[in-house]
Structure 1
Amino acid sequence: MPNSRTLLVIPLAVALFGLPTASSPLAAAPATDVTLPLLVTRGKAPAAALLTREDPWPPAAPGQPEPQAAQQPDQQPRWHFTQARQTTTGHTSGSATGAVARTGSAEGTGPSAPSTPGLRRTDHFRAGSITKTFIATVVLQLAAERRLSLSDPVELHLPGLIRAEDDTDGTYLDGRALTLRALLTHTSGLADYTAGTKGLIPVTPLQAVRTALALPATTPGRWSYSNTNYVVLGMVIKQVTGNSYATEAARRIITPLSLSGTSFPGTRTTLPSPHGRAYTSEGEDVTALNPRVAGAAGELISTLADLDRFYAALLGGRLLPAAQLHQMLNTRDAQGRYGMGLYPQKLPCGTTVWGHNGHIAGSYVRTAATRDGDRVLTFRVNTDEIADPTLERTLLSAEFCS
């Protein structure tokens, strides 16, 4: 990839509301349309895309599907899609000289994205740790049904699974004292098993836990992000329901919300069609990937529209009763850093957005929403690193501070 000083942003906006008349001024492009190409230039991603969603459907009961447009013709959400790509096609050749941005504004419309490495609105991609929001939602639904309690020790559901003493400082992890709440908030002390696998080795849930227990523990009660926590929660869901976390998430979230582009692929290494290519930061094509490198911590495949729809429904109270949604958004246990499968980010303008990011080989995704779910933005790049990490905050500010 070229040095960022050699890159030139060449925004090309294509408005889809129709051609302006002589009496109607051309509407200014959203601030995100100007910011997104920076992920390609300064961020050095092959391509980037975003989809925003505004104005939700009227409130519905938890678990109920979104009304069809024909039922609520005046309440249909507004969508805006933008994608940016390198102006040359060679990802590893170092010949890219700029970015081209294309925008759309209506559901199901917009110019076709260019061939690789451009991203289409309908593309499927790996959503990484956004999976955690789905897993946390299932666990909290089970808590609302009184099939488990967040105060339950892991031992109650998975006897003997967690027993380990850290030889370096004497920290002892015991499933009899470790609660589901601690797993949800990343305050368990369990090490992140991907420190051992580098996120590249497919493992079973039991192998992931054993790998984590062989690593130095963190301090129980202090926030420390660990994929192992959500692998264990996936095991708890299976023990409590008799079904895999994938089956329960499909039954409780994916099907009721009609998230037709969202799935848990298991060990399937390919992406559903349509999809683009995925690259490591070194330029290696990793489009084919065994999702068992992430499991319940990051297996999910989704689309921009589905993720916007999911977070709008979740924060709008459509998936959880008020008490459980309040618990999900409570960051006290994690010292303000994390709720349960969600985390807050305060932007420079003072607005706080809620959501999650997803980082897996070949893909980085971020969804953020207002507390009520009325405005949601999901952006993605088809590589696993953004060279300038400050751009994420810049992009969120362009959407939520304007």
Structure 2
Amino acid sequence: MPRNTPYPRRARQTYLTLALATALTGSLTAYETSAAAQDTPHTLTGRPGVAAAQEARLTALAQRTVDAGAPGVIVRVDKGDGRPTEVVRQASWSKADHVLAANDEFRMGSNTKTMVATVVLQLVAERRLKLSDPIGEWLPGLIPNGAAITVRMLLNHTSGLFDYTEDPDVLKAFTGQDTRVWTPEEVLAAAVQHDPLFAPGTKYSYSNTGYLALGLIAEKVTGHILGDLVQQRIAAPLHLKNTYLVTGADTAKSPAFAHGYEPDAARLAPLLPPYAPAGTAFAGPARSAGYVDTTWINNSTEWAAGAMVSSARDWARFVTALMSGKLLPPAQLKEMRTTVAEESGNPNRYGLGLERVVTPCGTVWGHDGQAPGFSSWDYTDATGQRTVAVLATTIFGLAVPKTGSAGKALLNAAVCTMLDKPIPAAPASTSAPTGS
């Protein structure tokens, strides 16, 4: 759904993630410097005690993140050696709602885009759809200037479409203040009330709107609903037991579903940018730690842009299958990994539902995602054999500088562990971000 990443990004954001992006990107330079200082040797594989030391370091950093205020974190690192590391840490106050476990079901937010893009590219491989198809041919009348916007532009965020998450009415639904169920067509209508940002194909700007359109196109091409397409084409063949698309006002019922939290109105207010609408706050039952439980906010506005539920283990199996060529033919996998530049000064590049991300320990592929109460970062190496997931049971709880700095250190350590590189040293203090 909304984008936030600790690695450089200046894309347009929903009101609720602008401040968070600032909080998490600020400390990048310090970690890059630390990583460079430890750049020799490059690989740690085979050294006695390295795996145990890495796990101990990840455990300590996960606990530090929780101690700094995060409700809970899950870390899973698989270096492709058959011995994945899983770390779970949780604030004691949240255990009354649910005791967090390594394989809990989790709202994956914008990681959904990678699965939707995979389905679309499978249809391209089957010659039922072309990347060059104008979307007006598939969705006549839904999107102005649809004759000039192609399927590829929706996939790589070069359509110029306004991001619907910035619409005030949709924002109320995203935060749970508006409880009505939205259809994808209604969300698209809200988005296209706003002027496009630029002429199609001329620039990059991250837009959730394009992925709602892609979901509708996939349904139009096949005659099947999107959730069934994900099950038939990805989840069932890969035996993913905890992976499914939530639609409408449905909420997950599994006892293995993690609870998510956001700061209450009083704690959230100072974290918001100055132009956020008055009264912006998340709906949910109050918790004693100054959070509200946002688990049951209806996510009808998210759908193809961010409504997947999965687990760290399931997602690792998915990205391994994807990057190793088990889900797409070589031609379509190459298209997926054909990238465009993001914003000026940002080293990351975006493909077709897949991002190439520059980290202190090297380049990785994957996506990140947010849904009310849930943040996730899921990356892999170029082969898909090494995977990492860092999941946190909050979005804006990480916007507090001390918590965000601790979370950044944890994510960097997890990625570096996946790549078998030395873990960057954390800054001496996590009481404030190291930059702006």
Q: How does 1:163-178 map to 2 (within 5 A)?
A: 163=144, 174-178=145-149
2:401 matches 1:356: no
2:351 matches 1:339: yes
Q: What percentage of residue pairs aligned between the two structures are identical?
A: 35
For 1:190-232, what per-residue CA distance to the aligned partner results, in whole angstroms no more than 9, with x for missing partners? 1111112112454211111111111232123311111111000
- Corresponding residue for 1:50? 75
Is the 1:193–1:227 Cα contact (8 Å) retained in structure 2? yes
Specify whether residues 25 and 115 from structure 1 end up closer, same or farther in structure 2 by C-alpha distance, changes over 3 A only: farther
- Corresponding residue for 1:188? 159
SS, match of residue 213 in structure 2: helix
2:211 matches 1:211: no
- Corresponding residue for 2:322? 314
Is the 1:364–1:382 Cα contact (8 Å) retained in structure 2? yes
Q: Tell me by how many angstroms 1:242 deviates.
A: 0.3
Which deviates more from structure 2 when the two are superposed, residues 272-281 or residues 123-132?
A: 272-281
Is the 2:234–2:327 Cα contact (8 Å) retained in structure 1? yes
Name the TM-score, length of structure 1 as normaliser: 0.75
- Partners of 1:245 and 1:239 lie apart in 2 by 10
- Partners of 1:34 and 1:85 lie apart in 2 by 12
Q: How does 1:134-153 map to 2 (within 5 A)?
A: 134-153=115-134
- Partners of 2:103 and 2:127 lie apart in 1 by 38
Tell me which structure has the larger Cα radius of gyration.
1
Q: How does 1:286-305 map to 2 (within 5 A)?
A: 286-305=294-313
Specify whether residues 372 and 294 from structure 1 end up closer, same or farther in structure 2 by C-alpha distance, changes over 3 A only: same
Q: Tell me by how many angstroms 1:162 deviates.
A: 1.2
SS, match of residue 78 in structure 1: coil
Specify whether residues 25 and 36 from structure 1 end up closer, same or farther in structure 2 by C-alpha distance, changes over 3 A only: closer
For 1:66-120, what per-residue CA distance to the aligned partner results, in whole angstroms no more than 9, with x for missing partners? xxxxxxxxxxx3321101223xx336xxxxxxxxxxxxxxxxxxxxxx7656520
- Partners of 1:217 and 1:394 lie apart in 2 by 39
Which deviates more from structure 2 when the two are superposed, residues 220-229 or residues 320-329?
A: 220-229
- 2:415 corresponds to which of 389, 392, 396: 396
Q: Tell me by how many angstroms 1:366 deviates.
A: 1.0
Is the 2:132–2:151 Cα contact (8 Å) retained in structure 1? yes
- Partners of 1:306 and 1:375 lie apart in 2 by 14
Specify whether residues 179 and 25 from structure 1 end up closer, same or farther in structure 2 by C-alpha distance, changes over 3 A only: closer
- Partners of 1:382 and 1:45 lie apart in 2 by 7
**Paired letter, 2:73:** A
2:65 matches 1:39: yes
- Corresponding residue for 2:93? 90
- Partners of 1:211 and 1:394 lie apart in 2 by 40
SS, match of residue 189 in structure 1: coil
Specify whether residues 212 and 229 from structure 1 end up closer, same or farther in structure 2 by C-alpha distance, changes over 3 A only: same
Aligned alpha-carbon RMSD (Å): 2.2
Is the 1:185–1:334 Cα contact (8 Å) retained in structure 2? no
- 1:226 corresponds to which of 207, 213, 216: 207
Name the TM-score, length of structure 2 as normaliser: 0.70
- Partners of 1:333 and 1:139 lie apart in 2 by 22
- Partners of 2:210 and 2:49 lie apart in 1 by 53
Is the 2:137–2:147 Cα contact (8 Å) retained in structure 1? yes
For 1:12-62, what per-residue CA distance to the aligned partner results, in whole angstroms no more than 9, with x for missing partners? xxxxxxxxxxxx9794243433333343244x3111011122328xxxxxx
**Paired letter, 1:294:** E
Q: How does 1:227-246 map to 2 (within 5 A)?
A: 227-246=208-227
- Corresponding residue for 1:168? none
- Corresponding residue for 1:159? 140
SS, match of residue 297 in structure 1: helix
Q: Tell me by how many angstroms 1:337 deviates.
A: 2.5
Is the 1:85–1:117 Cα contact (8 Å) retained in structure 2? no
Is the 2:387–2:418 Cα contact (8 Å) retained in structure 1? no
Matched length: 323
2:384 matches 1:373: yes
SS, match of residue 190 in structure 1: coil
**Paired letter, 1:358:** G
Is the 1:126–1:363 Cα contact (8 Å) retained in structure 2? yes
- Partners of 1:289 and 1:116 lie apart in 2 by 16
SS, match of residue 207 in structure 1: helix
**Paired letter, 1:237:** A
Q: Tell me by how many angstroms 1:398 deviates.
A: 4.3
Q: Tell me by how many angstroms 1:182 deviates.
A: 0.3
Q: How does 1:70-89 map to 2 (within 5 A)?
A: 77-86=82-91, 89=92
Indicate the structure whose relative CO is greater, using CA pairs within 8 Å and at least 6 residues apart: 2
Is the 1:271–1:288 Cα contact (8 Å) retained in structure 2? no
- Corresponding residue for 1:264? 245
Specify whether residues 136 and 25 from structure 1 end up closer, same or farther in structure 2 by C-alpha distance, changes over 3 A only: closer
- Partners of 2:340 and 2:244 lie apart in 1 by 32
- Partners of 2:354 and 2:150 lie apart in 1 by 18
Is the 1:261–1:303 Cα contact (8 Å) retained in structure 2? yes
- Partners of 2:299 and 2:262 lie apart in 1 by 16
**Paired letter, 2:125:** A
Q: Tell me by how many angstroms 1:124 deviates.
A: 1.0
Specify whether residues 271 and 383 from structure 1 end up closer, same or farther in structure 2 by C-alpha distance, changes over 3 A only: farther
Q: How does 1:118-129 map to 2 (within 5 A)?
A: 118-129=99-110
- Corresponding residue for 2:281? none
